[in-house]
Amino acid sequence: MLVIVAPGQGAQTPGFLLPWLEDPTFATRVGWLSTVAGIDLAHYGTEADADAIRDTRIAQPLLVATGLVAALELFPHPADAFEQIGAVAGHSVGELTAAVGARVITAEQAMVLVRERGNAMAAAAERTPTGMTAVLGGDRAEVLAAIEAHGLTAANDNGPGQVVAAGTREQLDAFAAEPPAKARLMPLSVAGAFHTEHMVPAVDHLAALARSVSTHDPRTALISNRDGQIVHDGRDVLRRLVGQIASPVRWDLCLETMADLGVTGILEMPPAGTLTGIAKRALKGVETFALKTPDQLEDARAFCAKHGEHTPMDTSPTWRMVVAPVKGTFHRDSAAGDADVLVRGATIGDVASTRDRTPVTAGHGGQIVEWLVEDGDLVSPGQPLVRLHPEGVS
């Protein structure tokens, strides 16, 4: 099982695009996305210094564009990707990259959204002095309790020993004065408290724009930052992309889902290194590949071929399938079990995991062709539950 991941803000370094732009095709595609975003991405990826590319308005479009164009270098025939990729995921703004890879939105839509996302988050950060601090090590329960006690938010939960606290400068200063036992604090050079309530104004702005964005259902399993669930409805993906701006990034739950899927290989799109580093510590025995420069492309394609397998979503049109969002025991809804036709949004049951019970709904509705699991069956993330045909839906 191959999973492709896209990094978030902070992964960029000065000049990281230099070797990639030596390829005329890559350079032309970056130029097109620069035009869409209204930003000279080639300049910021080659000549700009660390302070310039740290700016949220610049960093976010730069990261998304790089991931999108590099994906076309890795898979020159995009349809080939669906023969190999089992799932995709992105950390924070990297979710936009992942959404394009899963064919939920287009590259052009992603560039407009990320431009507005970066601008709105930067504007929200200017309202109140806020920031973020990485908490490395320490007892997890004690770390989370200390973050909550100081009124902070665990904005990024990246797995064992890696939590990022976010809030006002005063709250962070008080937290630094009383750190959790055996934990090391590392203030991050970011503009504000991302993925917290301080970003609500940015959510409102992006939500208004998202009403005009058309979507398609994912062509491959997409793992959501919000809760680690497999999301199979394009409209739900877009809602989550918008809401994620002010919600914590639960990368720890994304990693759990990758393990539940049976991942054997994780490839990180450029600028790579951060997420593969986390995966090495959290998913022992899983091979990783950090794609940093174009001279690695042949090895990267070999890595994909080694770990790739058919995604179950390409066996039938995605609008005909309802899939499990998480690993657990499926409980069929009695009304759905007796029905011949499901209306849009109808509950078909839930999946009980070790944490909670997750409702499962029919995003598009349709005539029931066949149930693919029985009540009480164990299911894995992304496993098809019921096959639907759109005819007969009012």
- Mean pLDDT, range 278-282, rounded to an integer: 94
Amino acid at 60: Q
Residue 234 structure tokens: 């394009």
158: left (phi over 0), alpha (psi -120 to 50) or beta: alpha
Cα–Cα distance for residue pair 306/207, rounded to 1 Å: 40
CATH 3.30.70.250 domain residues, the chain: 127-187
pLDDT (0 to 100) of residue 81: 87
Chain position carrying tokens 């992603």: 110
DSSP symbol at 346:
-
Closest among 370, 372, 375, 368 to 340, alpha carbons compared:
368
Instruction: Using the predicted structure, report yes or no on whether residue 391 has a pLDDT greater than 70.
Output: no
Contact 246, 196 (CB under 8 A): yes
| Domain 316-389: CATH class, spelled out | mainly beta
Is pLDDT of 277 > 50?
A: yes
CATH architecture type of domain 2-124+197-312: 3-Layer(aba) Sandwich (3.40)
The mean pLDDT value of the chain amounts to 93
Q: In which element (H, E) is residue 3 found?
A: strand 2-6
H-type alpha helices, 196-310: 200-210, 234-243, 251-261, 274-282, 297-307
- DSSP assignment of 148-211, as one string? HHTT-EEEEE-STTEEEEEEEHHHHHHHHHSPPTTEEEEE---SS-TTSGGGHHHHHHHHHHHT
Average confidence (pLDDT) over 281-307: 97
- What is the Cα–Cα distance from 276 to 91, expressed in whole angstroms? 12
Rounded to whole angstroms, the Cα distance separating 101 from 28 reads 19
Query: pLDDT-based confidence at 312, cuts 50/70/90?
Result: low
Please give the single-letter amino acid code of residue 99: A
Q: Where in the chain is the domain with CATH 3.40.366.10?
A: 2-124+197-312
pLDDT at residue 313 greater than cutoff 60: no
Residues serving a catalytic function are: 92, 195
pLDDT digits (tens, 9 = 90+) for 206-244: 999 999 999 999 989 999 999 999 998 999 999 999 999
Instruction: For 182-206, write each residue's pLDDT tens digit.
Output: 999 999 888 899 999 999 999 999 9
Please, where in the chain does CATH 2.40.50.100 lie?
316-389
Average pLDDT over residues 72-84: 88
With bands split at pLDDT 50, 70 and 90, how would you rate the model's confidence at 393? Answer: low
Query: What pLDDT does 351 receive?
Result: 97
Q: Is the peptide bond before 129 cis (omega within 30 degrees of 0)?
A: no
Band (pLDDT 50/70/90 cuts) for residue 315 is: very low
pLDDT in tens, 80-110: 888 899 999 999 999 999 999 999 999 999 9
Q: Is 320 helix (H, G, I), strand (E, B) or coil?
A: helix
The C-alpha angle with vertex 262 and arms to 265 and 271, in degrees rounded to 5, equals 30
Q: What is the fold, at CATH topology level, of the domain defined by 127-187?
A: Alpha-Beta Plaits (3.30.70)
Quick one: how far is CA 12 from the chain centroid?
A: 17
Q: Which helix (H) or strand (E) holds 334?
A: helix 334-338
How far apart CA 286 and CA 267 sit, in angstroms, is 11
Contact 265, 172 (CB under 8 A): no
Q: Strand locations in 51-129, DSSP E?
A: 85-90
179-212 residues labelled b (16+ CB within 10 A) or e (exposed): ebeebebeeeebbbbbbbebbebbbebbeeebee
Return the closest-CA partner of residue 46 out of 69, 81, 14, 82. 14
